[in-house]
A and B are shown apart, each in its own frame.
Chain A
Amino acid sequence: MIDSLCDQTGREDIAVIGLYCDFLAQREQSSTDMLGAILKQLICRGKIPEHIREAFRKAKKEFGGRGPRLPDLVELMKKAIVSLPLVFICIDAIDESIPRHRRELLESLREIIRVSINTRIFLTGRPHIEDEIVKGFSKVVRIHFSPTQDDIKSYLEMRLSRDTDPYAMDDELRTDIMRVIPERISEV
């Protein structure tokens, strides 16, 4: 289906950037590190832009090497992204980041998409964070995701095929699992 995206664009030079947020790694996931990770993926797709090399060299001289600040990264990214024909930035579990850092990251992304009309942002998260996302961006497409019965059945089949104790399974139990679990989940 994603092929249809390619067809719509008619272009092959698409950059897809991914980032995971994680409750367990919150301390390492500052807004600066998260945006830095996005920029890092963006520039390693080709020649590292000269303006980023210059910024690095300059920072290296200051106080024996200073890390980039968030506003610096926003500027570096704006300059790097503007020439790219199509960029998808995907951030998973945005709700698992620290609220302050999340807000800063979303603000930074908003600034970036303002200069780059060919950037698309894909966010996933739990429903409670929706208001925050909608406030952060002027136009947000929202999709509520829940698995279909077929999705659940495929998933169960996959898990059963990986069963570490297959001798405990028989046809009757398998049939029950395949019937009851999808029913129960769709009732939720």
Chain B
Amino acid sequence: MSSEPQQVTGNVNSFNSFNVLTAHNSIVNFDTETDTEGRQILQWLSPLEPQQRHQGVRTDRLDGMGNWMLETNEFRKWSDIEDGCIEPVLFCHGNPGVGKTYLRYNNTFRLARDNANVTDDQQIAPL
């Protein structure tokens, strides 16, 4: 991917902070090597680095867990883009230790990853 600054293109995601993405996927247009100010800006915006916690979650994640949730009407309603912004917030509640944290990554990270793997020449095949 070009290091020249450019408009946001398709097939990008940003689950983690910039350094993880640039390390594992060449999907960030923003060049963290040469753009010193860019790096400073990211640091200025927040000292938090959610990717550190994410690495641990990713290791312990169990594929397929909680997939039933994706089939629920509630989830569909939330994720239905055609409806516009009818129900934009999904709150998944449960007791401590039931796997909510891991569930989220099952769902959303796979989405991010699958998108990252798609090049400009490819389309996501419909199910």
Which residues of chain A (1-46) have a CB below 8 Å from chain B? 1-9, 11-20, 22, 28-29, 32-37, 39-46
Q: How many residues of B contact A (CB 8 A)?
A: 86
Which residues of chain A (137-180) have a CB below 8 Å from chain B? 137, 139-148, 151, 154-155, 158
CA distance A165 to B39 in the complex (A): 45
Q: How many residues of A contact B (CB 8 A)?
A: 83
Which residues of chain B (19-58) have a CB below 8 Å from chain A? 21, 27-30, 32, 35, 37-38, 40-42, 44-50, 53-54
CB of B41 to closest CB in A, whole Å? 5
Q: Is the interface of A mostly helix, strand, loop or mixed?
A: mixed
A sample of 26 inter-chain contacts (CB < 8 A) reads A1-B67, A2-B111, A8-B81, A11-B10, A12-B115, A12-B124, A14-B115, A15-B12, A18-B50, A28-B48, A36-B46, A41-B14, A43-B42, A73-B45, A90-B104, A122-B108, A123-B90, A124-B91, A125-B91, A139-B87, A139-B89, A141-B75, A142-B91, A143-B74, A143-B90, A147-B65
Given A17-B15, A117-B85: A143 and B45 within 8 A (CB)?
A: no
CB of A167 to closest CB in B, whole Å? 24
